[in-house]
Amino acid sequence: MSTAIHLAFREIWRNRGRFLLFSMVVALITVLVLFIAALGEGLGSGNREYLEKLNADLIVYQDTARLTIPSSRVDCTKRAEIGRVEGVRDVGSIGFASVSIPMGDGDEPLDVSLIGVEPGKPGEPPVVRGAGLVRRGANEAIVDRTVAVMADLAVGDQLVIRSTQGNEDELYALQVIGISDSRKYGLRSSVFVPIVTWDEIRPKPVAGPGAEDPACNVVAVQLDDPAQLEPMRQLLQARVARIEAVDRQTAYESTPGYTEQQSTLTTQNTFALLIGVLVIGGFFQIQTLQKVPQIGMLKAIGTPNGTIAAAAITQIVIVTLVGVAIGSLAAFGLSLSFPANIPIVFEPRSGAMAVVSLLLIGPIGGLASIRYSLRVEPLVALGLGT
Contact set with other proteins (CB under 8 A): 3, 6-7, 10-11, 13-15, 293-294, 296-304, 307, 378-379, 381-384
Least spacing, CB of residue 7 vs other proteins, in Å: 7
Cβ 311 to other proteins, closest distance in Å? 11
Q: Which helix (H) or strand (E) holds 67?
A: none
CB nearer to other proteins: pick between 30 and 373:
373
Q: Which is nearer to other proteins, 13 or 349 (CB)?
A: 13
The phi, psi pair for 323, rounded to 5°, reads: -60, -45
- Minimum CB separation from other proteins for residue 366, in Å? 18
Q: How far is the CB of 13 from other proteins (least distance, A)?
A: 8
CA distance 291 to 115: 65
CB of 376 to other proteins, least distance (A): 12
Q: Cα separation of 266 and 191, whole Å? A: 31
- Tell the smallest beta-carbon distance from residue 189 to other proteins (Å): 56
List Cβ neighbours of 262 (8 Å cut-off, separation of 6 or more): 40, 43, 44
Q: How far is the CB of 373 from other proteins (least distance, A)?
A: 14
Up-side HSE of residue 310: CA atoms within 13 Å toward CB?
A: 12
108 Cβ contact partners less than 8 Å away, ≥ 6 residues apart: none
CA distance 189 to 186: 8
Distance CA 267, CA 246 (A): 27
Name which of 16 and 135 has its Cβ closer to other proteins: 16
Query: Quick one: 14 or 84, whose CB is closer to other proteins?
Result: 14
Closer Cβ to other proteins, 237 or 303, answer by number: 303
End-to-end CA distance of the chain: 32
CB of 286 to other proteins, least distance (A): 16
Number of CB atoms found within 10 A of residue 138's CB = 16
Q: How far apart are CA 361 and CA 254, in angstroms?
A: 33
Alpha-carbon dihedral sign for residues 11, 17, 22, 24? positive
| Residue number with CB closer to other proteins (194 or 296) | 296
Enter the DSSP assignment of 383: T
> d(Cα 59, Cα 47) in Å, to the nearest integer?
16
Q: Please, which residue, 293 or 333, has the CB nearer to other proteins?
A: 293
Q: Which is nearer to other proteins, 269 or 307 (CB)?
A: 307
Cα 189 from chain centre: 15
Taking the complex as a whole, the smallest distance from the CB of residue 308 to other proteins amounts, in Å, to: 11
Which is it for the CA torsion 237, 241, 245, 251, positive or negative? positive
Phi/psi region, residue 137 (left: phi>0; alpha: psi -120 to 50; beta: rest), is: left
Rounded CA gap, 347 and 192, in Å? 25
Distances (CA, A) of 146 to 41, 111, 272, 341: 16, 12, 31, 9
156 or 383, CB closer to other proteins?
383
